[in-house]
Amino acid sequence: MTVPDDAGAVSLTVDVVLLTIRDGRLCVLLVERGIEPFAGTWALPGGFVTADEDLEAAARRELAEETGVDAGPVHLEQLRTYAAPHRDPRGRVVTVAHLALMPDLPHPVAGSDAAHARWWPVDEVLTPTTHGPVLAFDHPTIVRDGVERARAKLEYTTLATSFVAEPFTLGDLRSVYEAVWGVDLDAPNFRRKVLSTPGFVVDTGETVSVGRGKPAGLYHPGEATDLHPAMLRPEPSRDLTRG
Q: Which residues pair with 120 in a beta bridge?
A: 28
Give least dist CB 104 to DNA, A.
17
Q: What are phi and psi of 216, to 5 degrees?
A: -105, 145
Give least dist CB 51 to its own copies, A.
7
Q: Is 165 in the site for its own copies (CB under 8 A)?
A: no
- Of 89-97, 124-132, 158-166, 169-177, the window that binds its own copies (rule: CB under 8 A) is 89-97
Residue numbers of the site for DNA (CB under 7 A)?
A: 169-171, 186-189, 191-193, 196, 207, 209-217, 229, 231-232, 234
Q: Is 89 in the site for its own copies (CB under 8 A)?
A: yes
Continuous segment of H or E residues that includes residue 31: strand 25-32
- Of 5-13, 25-33, 135-143, 181-189, the window that binds its own copies (rule: CB under 8 A) is 5-13
Q: Is 81 in the site for its own copies (CB under 8 A)?
A: yes
> 118, 30 in Cβ contact below 8 A?
yes
Among 225, 99, 128, 232, residue whose Cα is nearest residue 177: 232
Residues 29-62: b if buried by 16+ CB within 10 A, e if exposed? bbbbbeeeebeeebbbbbbebeeeeeeeebbbbb
Q: Which is nearer to DNA, 86 or 212 (CB)?
A: 212
Q: Is 198 in the site for its own copies (CB under 8 A)?
A: no
Among 153, 150, 14, 11, residue whose Cα is nearest residue 81: 14
Q: Which amino acid is residue 213, in one-letter code?
A: G
Q: Which is nearer to its own copies, 211 or 229 (CB)?
A: 229
Query: Given the rule CB under 8 A, which residues bind its own copies?
Result: 1-3, 7-13, 36-37, 48-55, 78, 80-81, 83-85, 88-94, 96, 229-230, 232
